[in-house]
């Protein structure tokens, strides 16, 4: 069986990096092949009709004729980074988490419909709980990413001050991510395609009745907003992906 995976950089955890990693993950090579691309900085916003410099739409469409099963994993970049770029750099003060999520979902669904790919062989990956639990870390990381090389150095301080006032914090960021997942899951059910995430495995509830947060063991110590890249995380994703297609992980992964 062959599964093609396309998504933003957070989808790299579903792509075995060569035969050695596939063996370490326990993938039964004669039964399962996973290929594709984690396209750095790709976003749902890039699916709009105008041309994208990353050519994400074109990359995916070119691969469709060879796809037996297809998984898409987009949204994390839009929600954790794109939101602030639009609020701070583009100065869109009308944008809110409540308006941003359905806007992204509509764009995503329009692109999925345009692929005309069999729904029963398509899965979408939801977003993971945020690693942005520390405000100082979050602000410094976001400043580096959204100012980048396009913003003159002498304007960085002004943007940093504006950004500091905009940071949502862990609880509100997770609320936006989980609302995206809920809407994505609902639209997947409507469209008869598959949905999965692994937040039950990587999350915890500090208070029994409170919202989930990321378990510290999955958060990076490095200056990064990706989950820690471990065999355990990758196997969790692979199991969830296989189950989304009603496939038994034990048939494709060694224990």
* Domains of the chain, residue spans: 2-76+95-129+177-252
Higher pLDDT, 17 or 137: 137
Which are the contacts of 38, defined by CB distance < 8 A and separation ≥ 6?
A: 5, 7, 8, 9, 10, 11, 12, 15
Per residue in 219-247, pLDDT (tens digit) is 999 999 999 999 999 999 999 999 999 99
Predicted local distance difference test score (pLDDT) of residue 50: 82
Which residues in 114-149 are b (16+ Cβ under 10 Å) and which e?
eeebeeeebbbbbbbbbbbbeeeebbebbbeebbee
The CATH superfamily assigned to 2-76+95-129+177-252 is SGNH hydrolase (3.40.50.1110)
CB contact at 8 A, 144 and 138:
no
Query: Which of the four pLDDT bands, split at 50, 70 and 90, describes residue 149?
Result: low
Q: What pLDDT, in 10s, does the model give residues 34-44?
A: 999 999 999 99
Count, residues in the chain: 255
Tokens of 89: 């750099």
Give pLDDT tens digits for 93-125: 999 999 999 999 999 999 999 999 999 999 999
**Region 128-154 average pLDDT:** 90
Q: Report the percent of the chain where pLDDT is more than 90.
A: 89
Cβ atoms of residues 106 and 78 within 8 Å:
no
Per-residue pLDDT reduced to its tens digit, 188-229: 999 999 999 999 999 999 999 999 999 999 999 999 999 999
């Amino acid at each position: 069986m062959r599964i093609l995976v396309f998504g933003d950089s957070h989808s790299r955890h579903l792509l075995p990096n060569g035969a050695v990693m596939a063996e370490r993950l326990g993938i039964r090579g004669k039964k399962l092949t996973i290929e594709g691309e984690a396209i750095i900085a790709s976003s749902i916003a890039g699916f709009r009709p105008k041309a994208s410099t990353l050519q994400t739409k074109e990359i995916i469409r070119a691969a469709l004729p060879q796809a037996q099963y297809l998984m898409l994993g987009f949204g994390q970049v839009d929600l954790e980074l794109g939101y602030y770029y639009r609020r701070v750099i583009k100065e869109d003060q009308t944008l809110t988490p409540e308006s941003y999520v359905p806007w992204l979902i509509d764009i995503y669904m329009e692109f999925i419909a345009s692929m005309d790919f069999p729904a029963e062989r398509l899965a979408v990956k939801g977003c993971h709980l945020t690693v942005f639990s520390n405000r100082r870390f979050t602000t410094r990381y976001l400043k580096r990413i959204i100012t980048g090389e396009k913003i003159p150095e002498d304007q960085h301080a002004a943007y940093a001050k504006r950004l500091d006032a905009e940071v949502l914090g862990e609880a509100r960021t997770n609320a936006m991510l989980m609302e995206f997942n809920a809407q994505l899951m609902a639209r997947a059910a409507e469209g008869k395609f598959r949905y999965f995430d692994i937040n039950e495995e990587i999350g915890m509830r500090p208070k029994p009745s409170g919202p989930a947060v990321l378990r510290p063991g999955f958060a990076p110590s490095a200056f990064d907003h990706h989950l820690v890249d471990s065999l355990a995380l990758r196997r969790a994703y692979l199991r969830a992906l296989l189950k989304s297609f009603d496939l038994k992980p034990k048939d494709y992964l060694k224990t």
